[in-house]
Amino acid sequence: MSEEAKSGVVTSASAPGDKASVLVEALPYIRRFWGKVVVVKYGGNVHGAKPGERSVDADGALACFAEDIVLMRSVGMLPVVVHGGGPQIGALMERVGKEVQFLDGLRVTDADTIDLVRMVLVGKVNRDIVSSINVHGALAVGLSGEDANLITATARSEALGYVGDVVDVDPVIVHQLLAQGLIPVVATIGTDQSGQAFNINADTAAGALAAALGAEKLVFLTDVAGLRAVPDDPSTLIHQATAEDLDHLVSTGAANGGMIPKVESCARAVRFGVGSAHILDGRTPHALLLEVFTDQGVGTMVKAAG
C-alpha cells in the first residue's frame, strides 16, 4: 500500500476505476442470484461478545456482517440469517455459577440450562443481529425455531437432556417474511409436539433450513478460513470440494471437533438440492461479499459431485 493510501490521500486516477472494476466483476453474480435464497449461519465465535459486555472487535464484525446482509438484499438476493451463540451461553452459565458440561462435543442441557439458552439466543444474540441490520432500514425480523413450528425437534439422548435433533422444518413463516421484503433472523431453538424447547446445533439447523427453503447457497461464517486437508496447516486450505470429499475428511479425521457439524451440514445440504455451500472466516471484513460476488472467493465452496 502506498504512503498516500495509508494516509488517506488518494492521488491516483485509477482508484475510481478500481471500484468500477469490482462492481463489474460483481454484476454477473448479482444477475445470477437475483431472487435466490441464501442462508447464512453467523457463528457465535464470530460475534464473540459475552453477555453484559461489549467488544469492539465483536461489534465491528457484527456491523460489517449487517452491511453485507443488507447489500445482498438490496441487489435482489433473499438472505436468511441463522445464528448460534455457544460462547455467549457458556459465559452466562459461568456468571450464574452453572457448571458447563459437554458430552461428545455437545452441551449437556438440563431444565435450567435450556432456560439460559433461550435467554441468550432469543433475548440477546438474536436482538443484537436484528438491531444491527435494522440500522440500515426496517428489514430484519427476529424468529425462533419455536415460532410457527419452524423447527420441530426430538431429544437426541437422555444423557444430553434438552439437546435436540431436527425432525422437520416448516418454512412457511420464512417464505412469508421473504415475500414481504424482510430478512428473517432465526435463533436455533426447536420444539417437540408437546411444546418442549430443545437446543439445536446451529450448523445442523442452518443446513436443514437451507434444504427446506431450496436455497441457492448455504454459507457458514466461523473463525477459520475454510476447510483444511491438514487441520493445523493453513497452507492446505481447500478451495473447492464435493460432498464425497467432505465424507472423506470426516472419516479420516481431517475434519474434527466443531468443524464436523458444519461439514456434515454442507454435504447434506448440497445432496438435498442446495446449489452450493461455503465455509468462510467471518472475522475477515466483508468475507460474505467477497465469497458471493467475486471470481476468486475467500473460503471453501462445496458442490454436489457431477
Q: What is the mean pLDDT of the chain?
A: 87
Give phi and psi for 51, each to the nearest 5: -55, 135
**Measured distance CA(302)–CA(304) in Å, rounded:** 7
pLDDT per residue as tens digits for the range 138-160: 999 999 999 999 999 999 999 99
In terms of Cα–Cα distance, which of 138, 123, 37 is closest to 83?
123
Instruction: Identify the residue whose cell numbers are 436455533.
Output: 188
Up-side HSE of residue 201: CA atoms within 13 Å toward CB?
Answer: 24
**Measured distance CA(271)–CA(39) in Å, rounded:** 16
> pLDDT value at position 47?
55
**Measured distance CA(305)–CA(146) in Å, rounded:** 34
Residues marked active site are found at 41, 44, 86, 203, 262
**Measured distance CA(195)–CA(193) in Å, rounded:** 6
> Of all residues in the chain, what percent carry a pLDDT higher than 90?
60
The confidence band for 282, taking pLDDT boundaries of 50, 70 and 90, is confident
Q: Which residues pair with 168 in a beta bridge?
A: 152
Up-side HSE of residue 108: CA atoms within 13 Å toward CB?
Answer: 9
Q: Is the pLDDT of residue 10 over 50?
A: no
Q: Is the pLDDT of residue 25 over 90?
A: no
Domains of the chain (ranges plus CATH)? Answer: 34-303 (3.40.1160.10)
Task: Please measure the distance between the N-terminal and C-terminal CA atoms of the chain and give it in whole angstroms.
Answer: 41
Q: Is the pLDDT of residue 1 over 60?
A: no
pLDDT per residue as tens digits for the range 83-129: 999 889 989 999 999 988 888 778 899 999 999 999 999 999 999 99
Q: Are 80 and 39 in contact (CB under 8 A)?
A: yes
pTM for the full model? 0.88
**Measured distance CA(186)–CA(287) in Å, rounded:** 21
Q: Is the pLDDT of residue 220 over 60?
A: yes
